[in-house]
Structure 1
Amino acid sequence: MTQTPTQTPPVPKLSKVEGLKERSNYLREPVATEILQDTNSFTEDATQILKFHGSYQQDNRDNRVKGQEKDYQFMLRTRSPGGFIPPQLYLTLDRLSGEYGNNTLRVTTRQGFQLHGILKKNLKATLAAIIKSMGSTLGACGDLNRNVMAPPAPFKNSQEYKYAWEYADNIADLLTPQTGAYYEIWLDGEKFVTGEENPEAVAARQRNDKGTNFEEKEEPIYGPNYMPRKFKCSVTVPGDNSVDLFSQDLSLVVITNNRGELEGFNVFAGGGLGRTHNKEETFPRLADAIGYVAKEDVYDLVKAIVATQRDNGDRTDRRHARMKYLLEDWGVDKFRTTVEGYFGKQIQPLKPLPEWKYLDFLGWQEQGDGKLFVGISIENGRVKDEGNLKLRSALREIVQKFQLPIRLTPHQNLIICDIAPGQKREIQQILDRSGVKMESELDPLVRYSMACPALPTCGLATTESERAMPGILERIRALLVKVGLSEEHFVVRMTGCPNGCARPYLAELGFVGRSPNVYQLWLGADPHQTRLAEPYIEKLDIQNLEATLEPLFVYFKKEQQKPEKSESFGDFCHRVGLEALRTFTATYESAPVTLELTNGHSASSFMGETIVETLSETPSETTAAVTKIRRRVTVRDDVYQRLKEIAVSQGKPVVELATEAIEAYLNANSDSQPS
């Protein structure tokens, strides 16, 4: 009897980037060759490898001219564990932003600085200057461990915070790429030492237990293919969620004993926020609790988790390559068991933790060692001189005069550290005359908001974010005042694409770019960033912002629970649920005039009828006042009921749907109108 031969399953085809990494000779080529060429840009293959060196090639879309070469420029991102920036590095970055960049610095949501507008011909000089000023960009981008985050507040009398900063630095050392390519290309082979590495982390990096390392390789942990995708870590203290720990691939939480001595770390893994529109298999995910590890084993456990993702992460589909999908596909138990195989020990149960709180550390505060720090809010992280605000000049003057270090925050803000009490008055005077607002002067909506750069430089952006956010917040504040919630505030975040750089999926009100001036609207995250938001509207034209948000705010005002502390907007949306929000919105009846359009028209729902009003303004003959003349169009009740049903199913106000329907009819019949 002839046996049917067994079919060997086809070997999955690796993604293109996997081949580029393997052929790059540990991140050397084709960057090393192309940096010597007299061109304005790198090839597509080189741009992928360039990311590992901390740079993205970008095209300023504001400067595009049809038929001409794109306006190529480069973004550089610093690798600054815990957001620490020594004074000499800050002054160098400030100088480079003027000499080679666009005269701004940008604080990232991962506690680094970004320089924008660097030309290819100036890239090497810029990178060399950063390295020689105690900085680095190595691993700030690319498929490896990114900048390790930690709470930015310099509480020098807190052992927990000290441990968080120490281990953020040590984990960064442990997972730093070991390739010589970085120094060969940007410093012509000179190995410039920016700081002494932690000996325990160095020993752990070289230790090859249970298959965590590659033997006789230039990259002992990463190997020639590095990670399947980016890998993000944070270290924090119990209760301090300034780092958005649930959004990280790996988070460590410092655990101390009653004497303040470090005992170990709680471990969380599998968070990540990037996704793709219309690809339901991609989604944001919160990190899971994995367990507890003693301090003497923490480096080996980190390596075991990295090796688990390195060897099992999806290298065929980059949309499915983050560690969050491994956790989602396997479940926590299988993931933990696999990690333990690399670790060689069982992971212990999680230690008890207090509730998490979001903290931003703005204003003047005591460090605990007799010195002060001051947290400065930077709207959307952009350090610049513009109009009456001279933030860049103020920071340069303060750092030059007092030689003070800086810590960047995960909320795109900045803390000036180690201020002697006698320096406080002069520093505050510099900030005041430079137009820098203190925390008590900020609208809380602005204080707790974040936006990514998006247009014109980000190649992934489909619409505005940073440039649109100030106007959006003004409109939201005006609407809150209108409905009687003038004192209310919540976390608002915006991105120009679904990749989530400003972490909108952890916002109480999140805007995610879909197309020009159109956003997906997410609602219901916890104000302390421990719960994901949910998608409420798939496509919100930003012109319809007020019509969309007004019923939500009115419902919130009407049903908000008020125990000792009033219920937050995010908690309210989560409690009542999206369907209740959509139902209330669809049946919401505003005042006769609710939706002001740019062409001078408005629409509203009033007493069971859909009314469209044309507003014209004519000066009164007897006064200087303006009289508004209303012209109403009424529809039958049955038509209104159909509108209302569709509005409920689409999560839109009747007002908005009626306007869209009338507008579509007019556009469709515009050619048949008499001239």
Structure 2
Amino acid sequence: MTSPTFTKSAQKLSKLEAIKERSNQLREPLATELLNDRNYLTEDAVQILKFHGSYQQDNRDNRVPGQEKDYQFMLRTRSPGGFIPPQLYETLDHLADEYGNGTLRTTTRQGFQLHGILKKNLKTVLSSIIKSMGSTLGACGDLNRNVMAPPAPYCDRPEYEYAKTYANYIADLLTPQTGAYYEIWLDGEKIVSAEENPEVKAARDRNGNGTIFHEGEEPIYGKHYMPRKFKCAVTVPGDNSVDIYTQDVGLVVITNAAGELEGFNVLAGGGMGRTHRKEETFPRIADEIGYVDRADIYDLMKAIVATQRDYGDRTNRRHARMKYLIEDWGVDKFRAQVEDYFGKPLKPFKPLPPWKYQDYLGWHEQGDGKLFLGISVENGRVKDDGSFRLKAALQKIHQKFELPMLITGNHNIILYEISPKHQQQIDRLLKEHGVLPETEIDPLVRYAMACPAFPTCGLAIAESERAIPSILDRIRVLLDKVGLEQEHFVVRMTGCPNGCARPYMAELGFVGSAPDTYQVWLGGSPNQTRLAEPFMERLALCDLEAVLEPIFVGFKQNRQPSESFGDFCHRVGLDSIRTFVSNYQVNSSMNIETKEIPVPTSPETLSNDATAPQAPVDPSKIRHRVSVRHDIYSQLKDESKRQSKPIVEIATQAIEEYLAKVRAES
């Protein structure tokens, strides 16, 4: 069979496709530009650098009009399953101080990021990481990113070991084979940290109905790699510590009664990124695709990759993720194409237990007599700041015990292989450095995530990591004020719509839309199995309390027993919440208590207030009931979702335009 070709070759490919094709398998112009004296790389070199695990950034806090940007680089580790050996952490900690900004950052894909690296130090830093059993290859760029797995190091639960093992195997299967990485950063010296699984190597080279290229260095990726980034995770039934529905491909370990691995359930088509005011872009959760036997997992993964590689959109990068391919084709057509590459039908998806959101904070038994400890890392930033000195605490623990480490999908840290006799010493060290145990952390903080955003992320529109602590404080004050002192829920924030902290799965999500202004998303599930919905297009932070207080009051007054905030918002619907908020804001100005959120029972009724007050208030705030036909309501609802605006706003605009036209004609 001939090598696969792009099906859209007749269309104009995006600029980046040409950059990849000219790169000589990720070598140029990066290799040449690293030799010059400039403190930055050109755009073409920057795009190739991403495949090597680094982004060029500039510190916007240091921008001065008329002066050159403060160029620096971020490096990201490739750490399947979040594994960080002791010697790698020691190296990263040292590099952060000597060449970076003095901090480390855990990522939501179970890796570390170094910030503030200068171009002249890139090679030193990267080579040090590689020589310490680390890698950055494929941590960014248009290829398979870091493969996630549950971070719990259980020794007596074989399904967890399978998940970790196959996360590593799939990462190896889809690792770029180009020699560029070692040529550029180690002058051609290839460091081999462990012998590759022979099954993985054989599977990579196996043809499999046109899944590989027979020429060049990249049998799976070819010259153009993937249309966009590609994200995978492997987990066990019930453990959603990896946000399984947000992945391009999610694999769920299936074992038999004896604990032996039989195969994997397969989900595909998740993804968070979107663009403001581009309705054709949207977050999406993965679909159930089928089940595959253990022996066929590598060929199945190649078939999925080949389907996205050959049919994914290479003309419009906003439309290039696999989620759009599945959305456009439908699951059945996608499955059929995968099966064509795979060579046989997939088996039916096997039943699974309910998913649970896990963070593994605190002390746990591994199952072999040793312990592991989950440490909360607020906003993922490992730093020393006043009385909070997590970075120094981890240095001391490392010096004494040299423990291996796992990064979680919630950007926390797990230390493991801990002897019980060392538990008290470690607790004491953490306490001495101001690091709180999980029992003393506000659950709002414990379950929150934020992306780095300003000052270094070039895509940031608004603050995120630096803003969320004060926002969580204000939310806690609000909850206390309305009598929800013990309440907590999943809050996530990003500085732009790309969704790196996965805000579209949150019970309450904030997505930067302008300086100090955010979209608000509501209704994700506490166990991360349902997308949130856009509630408000632009919330200025100064209006945070005015908007959230009535929502929390409505939640308190109308929730069902033990109902979570996200489940409540999903059940009653965002239009009903908007109605309650409008009533609350009007009635509060008149000292009238609002007691009930109207849950819609008939789609024929378009309502924004069933009991509009008759007292003298601002007429623009009075709402009246208007009934419409069902087909008109359905169109309004669809338009509301498309524009992320309340139904009442769209209906009001249409009526105003109609009345203006009638008056003009008369």
The two structures share one fold, judged by TM-score above 0.5: yes
Residue 434 of structure 2 is aligned to residue 438 of structure 1: no
- The answer on whether the counterparts of 1:586 and 1:653 sit within 8 Å (CA) in structure 2 is no
1:645 counterpart SS class? coil
The match for 1:668 is none
The match for 1:516 is 515
Amino acid at match of 1:69: E
The match for 1:666 is none
Distance, in Å, in 2 between the alignment partners of 1:437 and 1:225 is 47
Residue 533 of structure 2 is aligned to residue 555 of structure 1: no
Amino acid at match of 1:394: A
The match for 2:273 is 274
- The answer on whether the counterparts of 2:575 and 2:647 sit within 8 Å (CA) in structure 1 is no
- The Cα of 1:212 is off from its aligned counterpart by 0.4
Q: Per-residue displacement from partner, 1:316-365 (whole Å, max 9, x unpaired)?
A: 00000000001000011000000000000110001110000001000011
The match for 1:657 is none
Q: Per-residue displacement from partner, 1:347-400 (whole Å, max 9, x unpaired)?
A: 000111000000100001100011000000000000000010110011111112
- The Cα of 1:82 is off from its aligned counterpart by 0.1
- The answer on whether the counterparts of 2:39 and 2:118 sit within 8 Å (CA) in structure 1 is yes
Distance, in Å, in 2 between the alignment partners of 1:554 and 1:477 is 13
The match for 1:532 is 531
The match for 1:644 is 622
- The answer on whether the counterparts of 1:128 and 1:187 sit within 8 Å (CA) in structure 2 is yes
Distance, in Å, in 2 between the alignment partners of 1:647 and 1:230 is 48
- The Cα of 1:647 is off from its aligned counterpart by 14
* Residue 588 of structure 1, aligned match among 584, 588, 612: 584
Q: Per-residue displacement from partner, 1:255-295 (whole Å, max 9, x unpaired)?
A: 00000000000000000010000000000000000000000
The match for 2:542 is 543
Distance, in Å, in 2 between the alignment partners of 1:247 and 1:491 is 16
Distance, in Å, in 2 between the alignment partners of 1:285 and 1:192 is 38
Amino acid at match of 2:245: F
The match for 2:21 is 22
- The answer on whether the counterparts of 2:410 and 2:449 sit within 8 Å (CA) in structure 1 is yes
Q: Per-residue displacement from partner, 1:297-331 (whole Å, max 9, x unpaired)?
A: 00000000000000000000000000000100001
Amino acid at match of 1:200: E
Distance, in Å, in 2 between the alignment partners of 1:606 and 1:325 is 49
- The Cα of 1:10 is off from its aligned counterpart by 9.7
The match for 2:567 is 571
- The Cα of 1:194 is off from its aligned counterpart by 2.0
Amino acid at match of 2:29: P
The match for 1:196 is 195
2:555 counterpart SS class? helix
- The Cα of 1:401 is off from its aligned counterpart by 1.5
The match for 1:254 is 253
5 Å-filtered alignment, 1:78-157, equals: 78-157=77-156
The match for 2:602 is none
5 Å-filtered alignment, 1:35-46, equals: 35-46=34-45
2:225 counterpart SS class? coil
- The answer on whether the counterparts of 2:270 and 2:287 sit within 8 Å (CA) in structure 1 is yes
- The Cα of 1:642 is off from its aligned counterpart by 2.6
- The answer on whether the counterparts of 1:247 and 1:287 sit within 8 Å (CA) in structure 2 is yes
Distance, in Å, in 2 between the alignment partners of 1:307 and 1:646 is 55
The match for 1:672 is none
- The Cα of 1:638 is off from its aligned counterpart by 6.6
Distance, in Å, in 2 between the alignment partners of 1:100 and 1:289 is 45
What is the TM-score when the length of structure 2 is the normalising length?
0.89
Residue 303 of structure 2 is aligned to residue 304 of structure 1: yes
Q: Percent identity?
A: 70
Provide the alpha-carbon RMSD of the alignment. Answer: 1.9
Amino acid at match of 2:621: L
- The Cα of 1:645 is off from its aligned counterpart by 3.5
Distance, in Å, in 2 between the alignment partners of 1:198 and 1:420 is 31
Distance, in Å, in 1 between the alignment partners of 2:101 and 2:624 is 48
Q: Aligned pair count? A: 606
Q: Per-residue displacement from partner, 1:535-572 (whole Å, max 9, x unpaired)?
A: 0000000110000000000000000101xxx1000000
Return closer, same or farther for 1:570/1:279 CA change in 2, 3 Å cut-off: same
Gaps in structure 2 of 5+ consecutive residues: 1-7, 594-612, 627-639, 650-666
Distance, in Å, in 1 between the alignment partners of 2:567 and 2:124 is 49
- The Cα of 1:652 is off from its aligned counterpart by 12
- The answer on whether the counterparts of 2:519 and 2:538 sit within 8 Å (CA) in structure 1 is yes
Return closer, same or farther for 1:605/1:299 CA change in 2, 3 Å cut-off: farther
Q: Per-residue displacement from partner, 1:126-161 (whole Å, max 9, x unpaired)?
A: 000000000000000000000000000111111000
User: Which stretch shifts more, 391-400 or 271-280?
Assistant: 391-400
Distance, in Å, in 2 between the alignment partners of 1:109 and 1:221 is 26
Distance, in Å, in 1 between the alignment partners of 2:559 and 2:320 is 41
The match for 1:336 is 335
Distance, in Å, in 1 between the alignment partners of 2:18 and 2:44 is 10
The match for 1:77 is 76
Q: Per-residue displacement from partner, 1:92-114 (whole Å, max 9, x unpaired)?
A: 00000000000000000000000
The match for 1:222 is 221
What is the TM-score when the length of structure 1 is the normalising length?
0.88
The match for 1:627 is none
Residue 501 of structure 2 is aligned to residue 502 of structure 1: yes
- The answer on whether the counterparts of 2:586 and 2:621 sit within 8 Å (CA) in structure 1 is no
- The answer on whether the counterparts of 2:107 and 2:380 sit within 8 Å (CA) in structure 1 is yes
- The Cα of 1:11 is off from its aligned counterpart by 2.5
Amino acid at match of 2:425: E
Distance, in Å, in 2 between the alignment partners of 1:434 and 1:450 is 23
Distance, in Å, in 1 between the alignment partners of 2:32 and 2:271 is 35
1:139 counterpart SS class? coil
Distance, in Å, in 2 between the alignment partners of 1:652 and 1:450 is 30
Q: Per-residue displacement from partner, 1:394-442 (whole Å, max 9, x unpaired)?
A: 1111112111100000000000010011111111111110111111000
Structure with the greater alpha carbon radius of gyration: 1
The match for 1:406 is 405
Distance, in Å, in 2 between the alignment partners of 1:15 and 1:464 is 30
- The answer on whether the counterparts of 1:583 and 1:651 sit within 8 Å (CA) in structure 2 is no
2:460 counterpart SS class? coil
2:277 counterpart SS class? coil
Gaps in structure 1 of 5+ consecutive residues: 1-8, 593-603, 609-634, 655-675
2:547 counterpart SS class? helix
Return closer, same or farther for 1:530/1:607 CA change in 2, 3 Å cut-off: closer
- The Cα of 1:217 is off from its aligned counterpart by 1.7
2:477 counterpart SS class? helix
Amino acid at match of 2:475: I
Distance, in Å, in 1 between the alignment partners of 2:186 and 2:208 is 34
Residue 497 of structure 2 is aligned to residue 491 of structure 1: no
5 Å-filtered alignment, 1:54-69, equals: 54-69=53-68
The match for 1:618 is none
- The Cα of 1:198 is off from its aligned counterpart by 1.4
- The Cα of 1:589 is off from its aligned counterpart by 4.8
